[in-house]
Amino acid sequence: MKKCFSASIIAAFFAVAGFAQQTAAPAKADGSPLASFTRHEVEDSAKNMVAAAEEMPADKYSYQPTPAQITFAHLIFHAVRANYGLCSKISGATPPDLKVAETDGKDKLVAALKQSYEFCTTTLAKVDDSNLSEVIPLYGSVKMSRAGVMVTLAVDYTDHYTQAAMYLRLNGLLPPTAKK
């Protein structure tokens, strides 16, 4: 199981790295390439996920493609929780109390999403690559290196946006990255 999970993380890292090259991540010579990449991913994801959340009509936040899949509202709520959870683990900052639920309306969920990205931007601003190998608690009894949590954050961003893009397309809307 651990080998499968590790192989998945490595494969996802290369996929995200390849995608990052296509999105023209700014080259920064600050001696912390992974931290710089992570900050770029936060910025890029914030732009795309917030635009996707704003694009979806309020009456479609309860949309779910099949009964086995989550609603669009749950996806946005999950992205908010993931931002606070992972960015706090990477930075060591304490996340604020979450004052939003998946049952809240579009306006409250979009505002919470924006705030979660602001939290990530602020708390990751001072993160560098000096302690990438430090093992930190992720959730429950799961522990991972700080570098692994950074990669997990980037992979989550890809996963969340592809889900949002699919939900938009299934409702006849173009995802933000498909628009010129």
Domain range list for the chain: 52-174
**Tokens 């700080």 belong to which residue?**
146
Which range among 22-31, 33-42, 45-54 shows the weakest confidence by mean pLDDT?
22-31
Residue 10: its pLDDT value, please? 46
Where is pLDDT greater, at 30 or 112?
A: 112
> Which of the four pLDDT bands, split at 50, 70 and 90, describes residue 180?
confident
Residue 26: its pLDDT value, please? 52
pLDDT single digits (tens) 98-125? 999 999 999 999 999 999 999 999 999 9
Contact in structure between 124 and 39 (CB atoms under 8 Å): yes
**Helix H or strand E encompassing 39:** helix 33-55
What architecture is domain 52-174? Up-down Bundle (1.20)
| Whether pLDDT at 17 is above 80 | no
Residues 6 or more apart in contact with residue 104 via CB below 8 angstroms = 73, 77, 112
Which pTM was predicted? 0.84
**CA-closest candidate to residue 39, choices 115, 147, 116, 121:** 121
